[in-house]
Amino acid sequence: MALTSTISHYDHNWPALFSAERARIEPGFLAELVTTHHVGSTAVPGLAAKPEIDLLIEVSEHIDEPQRIEFMATLGYVRGSNLSEGHHFYRRDVDGVRTHKVHVCISGHAQIARMLRFRDLLRSDPELRQRYQALKLALEAGNRDGIGEYLAGKAPFIDAVMGHG
């Protein structure tokens, strides 16, 4: 079973792709929007990544979820399962390949600080970034069961870096 996309070298277009997608998505969150962050590996210059742009939308509250799901669907997004209480998730695939992931969390949600802190640690520490990249490439090369296996393989590294393991 394949991953949602294939890891590739860092692409200097990823920040522009984030900005373009943020401009498409933010109008659907006007009443509750606090800010939008570029997170995940595509937000770390120099880091190889699955070319899936991760957006973290911070909201004041979750307002009118059915209307939000409908709006996101007009942009090609499917509502996924909540990743945790209050952490809503959307994904966008084009021709069977994942291109974007959107995390929607209320201000103060623990995942906001966690995602931003991990991104910033990778941005500021070349050795850590290289170790994480090597792990991701090894997990991709040995993957047999898809994205769940890949994510489970990354979790101990991330937890250790974040001081939770």
Q: So what's the pLDDT on residue 4?
A: 66
Q: Which residues lie closer than 8 Å to 93 by C-beta, 6 or more apart? A: 4, 76, 78, 99
The phi and psi torsions of 158 (rounded to 5 degrees) equal -60, -45
What local confidence, expressed as pLDDT, does residue 165 receive? 45
pLDDT tens digit string along 117-137?
999 999 999 999 999 999 998
Prediction pTM value: 0.90
Rounded Cα–Cα distance for residues 105 and 152 (Å) = 22
**Sheet with 53-59, side-by-side order of all strands:** 33-39, 53-59, 97-106, 87-94, 77-79
Instruction: Give the model's confidence band at 1: pLDDT under 50 very low, under 70 low, under 90 confident, else very high.
Output: very low
The model's confidence at residue 144, banded by pLDDT at 50, 70 and 90, is confident
* 24-57 pLDDT tens trace: 999 999 889 999 999 999 999 999 998 999 999 9
Between residues 56 and 145, which one has the greater pLDDT? 56
Between 8 and 5, where is the model more confident? Answer: 8
Who's near 37: CB < 8 A, 6+ residues apart? 43, 55, 56, 58, 112, 115, 116
pLDDT tens by residue, 63-109:
888 999 999 999 999 999 998 899 999 999 999 888 999 999 999 99
Per-residue tokens: 23: 């401009």
Task: Report all structural domains of the chain as residue ranges with CATH numbers, in order of start.
Answer: 14-161 (3.30.460.10)
Interhelix angle 110-124/147-161, nearest 10 degrees = 80
